[in-house]
Amino acid sequence: MTDERFTFTIDGAAVSARPGQTIMEAADEAGIYIPRLCDHEGLRHQGSCRVCTVKAAGRSVAACTQPAAPGLEVESEVPHIHALRRNLVEMLFHEGNHLCPICEASGNCELQAMAYRLGMIEPTKFPYLEPTRAVDATHPDIALDTNRCISCGRCIRASEDVDGKGVFGYVGRGIHRRVAVNGIDLAHTDASLDDHAISADVCPVGCIIRKRVGFSVPIGERDFDHQLIGEAVQGKRR
């Protein structure tokens, strides 16, 4: 296998890759973090949030789905791409209702952490769409507030591919596309706290809420209170 490896560059740094790897997979192994929201370790790549947009050979592509290629020159941490990513994260904030101060996910939220990492520190220019979707608290152990959903689909893939259940699915089209549950409400699905789809890792925001554990980790001691999102990947860099 080793002799099949090839090299390409990200922002000038040489990165080694195996045939079939995406730009992001190779970057992760090399300790180079490319921002992402819909992509999640262990789940198939979806390429929908577009936050991992990079320029590869002059063309803008999603790093999570684009295969790496020998000699490919990839631009990632450049002002132009950075601005695109911030724009996309702003869009996600404005599409839903993301009120960090009252959200249980604050500090563990990847959307919030991404906003900090990308320097979203001033009021944005976009209008707020302010959805008013009913909160689904019917399940004894789990609640869903899809007003905070960013349509990343990680719960859908985790439930289908890891749990083998299909508790979640996309319905609707365009701006009305959203994650729905496989039943009239969550209580009428076979969702359970043991599901990978329900685990703290999979939902990047405060949409899937595990009941009775809220604030068990206090604000100030949460994942992104002391480090930027992506530092775990960057820590692998030699």
Partner 1 sequence: MRQVSLVETRDSPELIAAEACAAVGNDRHRLLDILLTVQNRCRWISPAAIDEVASALGLTPVAVRGVASFYAFLSLEPKGRVIIRLCDDIVDRHAGYSGVLAAFEEELGVRLGQTTADGGISLEQTPCIGLCDQAPAAMVNDIVLTSLTPETARRAARALKSGRPPRDLVSPQFDSLSAHERVRAAVANNIRLAGNVLLGEVPREAGLRRASAMAPAQIIASITASGLRGCGGAGFPTGRKWDMAAREPAARRFVICNADEGEPGTFKDRVLLTERAHLLVEGMTIAARAIAAREGILYLRGEYAYLRDHLDAVLAERRAAGLLGGAIMGVTGFDFDIRLQLGAGAYICGEEGALISSCEGLRGEPRTRPPFPVQRGYLGLPTVVNNVETLCHAARILDRGADWFFAMGTEGSHGSKLFSVSGDCSAPGVYELPYGVTVRELLELAGAPDAAAVQVGGPSGVMIARDSFHRRLSFDDLATGGAVIVFSGARNILEIVDYYLSFFVHESCGYCTPCRVGNVFLREAIRKFRNGHANAQDIEDIRSLSATIIETSRCGLGTTSPNPVLSTLAHFPLVYSAVTKPMGDGLQATFDIQSAIESARGIARRRSFVFDRDFSK
Q: Which residue has the tokens 């999640």?
A: 40
CB 176 within 8 A of CB 191: no
Q: Are 9 and 26 in contact (CB under 8 A)?
A: no
Point out which residues bind partner 1 (CB under 8 A).
Answer: 45, 47-51, 53, 60, 62, 65, 67, 83-84, 87-88, 91-92, 94-95, 125-127, 129, 151, 166, 168-177, 180-184
Tell me whether residue 63 or residue 107 sits nearer to partner 1 (CB atom): 63
**Is residue 7 within 8 Å of residue 15, measured between CB atoms?**
yes
Q: Report, in Å, the least distance between residue 83 CB and partner 1.
A: 8
Min dist. Cβ of residue 213 to partner 1 (A): 26
SS3 of 91-105: the string is HHHHHCCCCHHHCCC
Q: How far is the CB of 32 from partner 1 (least distance, A)?
A: 20
CB of 26 to partner 1, least distance (A): 16
Q: Which is nearer to partner 1, 15 or 84 (CB)?
A: 84
As measured in angstroms, the least distance from the Cβ of 128 to partner 1 is 10
Q: Residue 95 or residue 195: which is nearer to partner 1 going by CB?
A: 95
Residues whose CB is less than 8 angstroms from the CB of residue 174 and which lie 6 or more positions away in sequence, other chains included? none
Phi, psi at residue 54, to the nearest 5°?
-135, 165
User: What is the residue type of 139?
Assistant: H
Contact 196, 208 (CB under 8 A): no
Rank residues 143 and 191 by Cβ distance to partner 1 and give the closer one: 191
Smaller CB separation from partner 1, 71 or 123: 123
Burial of 226 (0-12, 13-18, 19+ CB in 10 A): exposed
